[in-house]
Amino acid sequence: MSNLADMFADSYQVFDDDENLVSVGTALEFWDEDLFALYVERVGSRLRFFDDGLVMMHMYGSGIHFDNANLTQSVAQIAEPEGVKLNGADLEIWAEASEAAGAFSRYLSAILALMKWESGEVSRLSRGEFIY
């Protein structure tokens, strides 16, 4: 594929003239029905799939505060089996362009696992339980 926009059909927004950075809309919903979108950046022959901190911000807005390092470790441990890393507040995975489909699939799998975890933690909070 010649550019990132071609890879994501009608569900993208281009951020630069060279089409090296796009946002991609998805049908994935958080527990409160907010939609998840991600970004894809081309750097040389590699692609970076990342969320620009969206998942962590959503969790924070849901009442999950990351003052406790155990919560941050939980997020990282849920994402890492799919090769997704927590880099600051960004969840990201890097791949060669030829491996984009696999990386995209693994990235979405990690996001779905985190959405499920967040939903459970929000449920615990609503029952008055503390999260450690």
Domain ranges of the chain: 4-124
Sheet holding 21-29, edge to edge: 12-14, 21-29, 35-43, 46-50, 90-96, 85-87
Global pTM? 0.83
Please tell me the predicted confidence (pLDDT) of residue 11. 66
Please tell me the predicted confidence (pLDDT) of residue 1. 41
Per-residue pLDDT in tens (0 to 9) along the chain, 132 residues: 455 445 444 566 666 667 788 888 888 889 898 888 899 999 999 999 999 999 999 999 998 877 777 888 999 999 999 999 999 999 999 999 999 999 999 999 999 999 999 999 898 888 776 655
Report the relative pairing of strands 12-14 and 35-43 from DSSP bridges. unpaired
